[in-house]
Amino acid sequence: MTSRSVPLDLPIAGLAGLFAASGTLHLVKPQVFEPLIPSALPAARKVVKVSGVAELVCAAGLLHPRTRRASGLASAALLVGVFPGNVKMSADAGKRAERKRDPKSAAFFAGTLARLPLQWPMIRTALRAGGR
């Protein structure tokens, strides 16, 4: 592959937009994401804020041709890194849905399950932005 940047297209721009929105939410409402942090990691709020900053940096980097390749690879790594938190969120939601047995909890659980396979196209898009 040449050193030329992958052109900015709708999927890459969309991924940048998702990272920008999520990164902002991580910084504005970190308490939403704290339950996703595995208990083995200390300082959940700090982990959430650092990941939010990482998402914002990846978002900005995906938009610029000179940083798109490095940001694409960093974005893929970030998505792989947060995947266990998404699995934990789904497992916790499943337990809550079973305990509460109400439509709202069941719907949230279904949403968390549906979200998991969506990580893969995002990772593929990030890798493509990275020239892979």
pLDDT in tens, 27-45: 999 999 998 888 888 899 9
> Model-level pTM?
0.89
CB-facing half-sphere around the CA of 78: CA atoms within 13 A: 28
Across all residues in the chain, what is the average pLDDT?
Answer: 94
What range defines the domain where residue 93 resides?
10-123
Radius of gyration of the chain (CA): 16
- Structure tokens of 31? 């308490």
- Asked if residue 5 is part of any domain, the answer here is no
Structural domains counted in the chain: 1
- Asked if residue 3 is part of any domain, the answer here is no
C-alpha to C-alpha distance for 39 and 31, rounded to whole angstroms: 15
- Asked if residue 128 is part of any domain, the answer here is no
